[in-house]
């Protein structure tokens, strides 16, 4: 009996993540409603809160998958790209741009999820982020072998934030969207200047 319950909970959890992922992909984070999710999952609204603390917990689970897919796609692009560290970083940034363009609403949900306090960010979520930052830090460490870890961390954040800003504003029609190849050009301009010793 207890095993059945655990399994049913796990199945419901996966089903809810699937449904929420489809909904965010199609209509964005703001359209997520417990009532509609429960209807699609064939469960009571209350059952959602047996497997997630709140809808934010569900969105974080979707985001966890998105982080995973994004990391895998960027890593694939890196394996097929040039082997020099600066070239690797340019390929990563372009991989990030492509992922954002192909998954605009899932990508936005990574940043738009509402958390009221730092303590709301679960440890596994921060670890996923750290894994993505580690992809950027690796070529930086090759380029700057003498630089202390703390400084590499700052450079990593500065580079990721910069690429994120270019992708965000470059794809943002309400501000100043630019053609996709101009975002590539910005990345090609900026990364070598920032990353090189």
Shortest distance, CB of residue 137 to its own copies, whole angstroms? 13
41 or 60: whose CB is closer to its own copies?
A: 60
> Tokens 């390929």 — which residue?
91
- Contact between 184 and its own copies by CB under 8 A: the answer reads no
- Contact between 190 and its own copies by CB under 8 A: the answer reads yes
Q: How many residues does the chain have?
A: 197
- Contact between 169 and its own copies by CB under 8 A: the answer reads yes
Residues 115-154 that bind its own copies (CB under 8 A): 115, 117-118, 120-121, 126, 129, 154
How far is the first Cα of the chain from the last one, in angstroms, to the nearest whole number? 62
Q: Which range of residues in 5-13, 77-85, 134-142, 173-181 is near its own copies by CB under 8 A?
A: 173-181
Contact yes or no for 113/132 (Cβ under 8 A): no
Binding mask 17-36 for its own copies (x = CB under 8 A): --------------------
52 or 125: whose CB is closer to its own copies?
A: 125
Quote the CA–CA distance of 166 and 183 in Å, as a whole number.
7
Q: Which one, of 26, 187, 21, lies nearest residue 97 by Cα?
A: 187
Q: Which range of residues in 5-13, 14-22, 73-81, 176-184 is near its own copies by CB under 8 A?
A: 176-184
Query: Torsion-angle region of residue 91: left (phi > 0), alpha (psi -120 to 50) or beta?
Result: alpha
In eight-state DSSP terms, residue 145 is T
Distances (CA, A) of 99 to 104, 133, 165: 8, 16, 15
Footprint of its own copies on this chain (CB under 8 A)?
A: 111, 113-115, 117-118, 120-121, 126, 129, 154-155, 157-158, 160-166, 168-170, 172-178, 182, 185-186, 189-190, 193-194
């Amino acid at each position: 009996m207890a095993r059945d319950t655990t399994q049913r909970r796990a199945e419901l959890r996966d089903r809810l993540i699937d449904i929420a992922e489809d909904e965010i992909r199609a209509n964005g984070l703001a359209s997520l409603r417990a009532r509609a999710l429960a209807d699609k999952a064939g469960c009571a609204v209350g059952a959602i809160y047996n497997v997630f603390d709140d809808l934010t917990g569900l969105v974080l689970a979707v985001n966890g998958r998105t982080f995973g897919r994004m990391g895998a796609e960027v890593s694939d692009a890196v394996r097929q790209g040039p082997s020099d560290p600066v070239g690797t970083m340019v390929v990563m940034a372009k991989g990030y741009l492509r992922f954002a363009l192909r998954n605009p609403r899932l990508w936005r949900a990574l940043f738009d999820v509402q958390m009221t306090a730092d303590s709301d960010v679960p440890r596994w979520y921060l670890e996923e982020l750290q894994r993505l930052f580690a992809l950027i830090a690796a070529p930086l460490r090759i380029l700057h072998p003498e630089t202390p870890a703390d400084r590499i961390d700052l450079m990593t954040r500065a580079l990721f934030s910069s690429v994120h800003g270019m992708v965000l504003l470059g794809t943002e029609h309400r501000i100043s969207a630019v053609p996709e190849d101009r975002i590539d050009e910005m990345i090609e301009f900026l990364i070598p200047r920032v990353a090189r010793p």
